[in-house]
Amino acid sequence: MLTHQPRWARSTSGLAVVLGPRAGHVPAALAPHLQQEITANQGEDLVALEGNLRATAATLMALTNQAEHEIAVARHQAAAACTGWGLTARLRRRTANAELTRAIQKQSELRDLLDEALTMRNTLREFVIGFDAPAGLLRESADGWQRSPHVPASVIVFGLEDSFVAADSRRLDSGWAGARVAGETYGEQWRRDGDSPDSRPLDRAGPWRVGFSPRTGEVYASRRCGYLSQKVWLLGREFEAEQAHDLLTALMPRMREPTSLILAAGVVHVARSLRPRGPCATLSSFAAPVIASADDDSERTTSR
């Protein structure tokens, strides 16, 4: 067995991941979720559990947001019930206040469950990162989970592809009925935390396409999927075709890592900043984690 292939081990102290002479004991909070589900592929077991926890957190977040809306409605109804006198008015106030109390309690319970799911997800990620597997699925996951999914400061965000091509007609692929960016595609499954389907974590596929437009010398990413709005990121400008080809071809093997889109954005930005005149810089030049600095896509959305 190769040394970078971890395996499960059970002992009196619990479940552990063994890699060569090392053993990483699974945190007690995670062990109950793995005891009945483990297979021969330890990496897939942990990645599947992380995906399940993300899916649970996403569901709870939606329910929590709905509960917060219910609180707002209940507060409005309680305020409206403050007027009037007599038995009917008192009953109306009592009912409205009871509804408000119920809504607040429901939101509090959902928030607690959400916090628990997020804590467990973070615990799993920290365990995999700390285990520091040298290669394989756990190495890819550890690298990806250390990247922030927020929009890097170097990226310019557009909405629909229509707005992107409208800003520069050279970007338009005239062979399509609708607006589509002309150029070469370097992978159509780039990932970003929060964009990939939580229900299929082992697919390791995201909804982003990365491409290069020879007419403009631009590297861009485009999000197209049925469950999220369309989005275009301009990752970098003023690239020669050969430089962009070498850079993006070297990146493609890492497309299935978590938050690989942020990795691509960082590498493109560094390559653009260095303005190499000779052969394209190697991917190893950009091994340091990419730390994003923006909080949300909309903060730098352009109307151009």
**Region 276-283 average pLDDT:** 48
Q: Assign 3-state DSSP to the chain and report helix, strand, coil percentages, each to 5.
A: 50, 15, 40
**Region 88-116 average pLDDT:** 92
Backbone dihedral angles phi then psi of residue 83, each to the nearest 5 degrees:
-90, 155
Q: What is the pLDDT of residues 28-63, one digit of tens each?
A: 889 888 866 778 888 889 998 998 898 899 899 999
Average pLDDT of the chain?
A: 83
Q: What are the structural domain ranges in the chain?
A: 7-141, 156-300
What percentage of the chain exceeds 90 in pLDDT? Answer: 48
Backbone dihedral angles phi then psi of residue 218, each to the nearest 5 degrees:
-105, 140
With a cut of 80, say whether residue 243 has pLDDT above it.
yes
**Region 232-257 average pLDDT:** 94
Contacts 24+ apart (CB under 8 A), 198-203: 198/51, 198/52, 198/54, 198/55, 198/58, 199/51, 199/55, 200/51, 201/47, 201/48, 201/50, 201/51, 201/52, 201/54, 202/44, 202/47, 202/48, 202/51
Among 26-40, 151-165, 202-216, 219-233, the least confident range? 26-40
With a cut of 50, say whether residue 18 has pLDDT above it.
yes
Q: Which residue has the higher pLDDT, 46 or 11?
A: 46
Determine the pLDDT at residue 166: 87
**Region 120-137 average pLDDT:** 93
pLDDT band at residue 201, thresholds of 50, 70 and 90? low
Determine the pLDDT at residue 65: 95
